[in-house]
Amino acid sequence: MSKEQPKNEQIFPGGPTQNKVEEWKAKFGEIFMSEFGEDTYIFRTISRLEYKQILNTEGNATELYREEQIVGQSVLWPENLNHTIIAEGKAGIPTVLTDQVMNKSGFVATSGPVKL
């Protein structure tokens, strides 16, 4: 039997509390955590409507811009993640996080088609 983590304890050093994680789950449903070396990100999935809004944003001409918009919309931790922080951070993180968000948002099949 696993020991339950206290609700006011951080889930990792410097991270959000278990209470905050439960609040996010209640608001968004499933949430996910991904680590990049010392950096930890917690994200939620995006809806079809949110995806369409990102695609229809004026000036949304590049894949890099769309990745930054998806990351900015879906990342819950670190809090207050903004375009400047994303743009000045490690170059590959927005791309990998976008792939993970899109995967968990249903844009990638979990199995191939099955012949009937």
Q: Determine how many CB atoms are found less than 10 A away from the CB of residue 7.
A: 11
Q: What is the CATH number of the domain that holds 84?
A: 3.30.2220.10
**Domain, as residue range, for 98:** 18-106
Distance of CA 50 to the CA centre of its chain: 13
- pLDDT for 27 equals 96
How many domains, the chain? 1
Is residue 50 a part of any domain in this protein? yes
Q: How far apart are the first and last CA of the chain?
A: 42
* Number of DSSP helices (H) and strands (E) in the chain, helices first: 5, 3
In a domain, 76, yes or no: yes
Q: What is the pTM of this model?
A: 0.85
User: Does residue 111 lie in a domain region?
Assistant: no
Express each pLDDT in 22-75 by its tens digit. 999 999 999 999 999 889 999 999 999 999 998 887 766 788 888 988 999 999
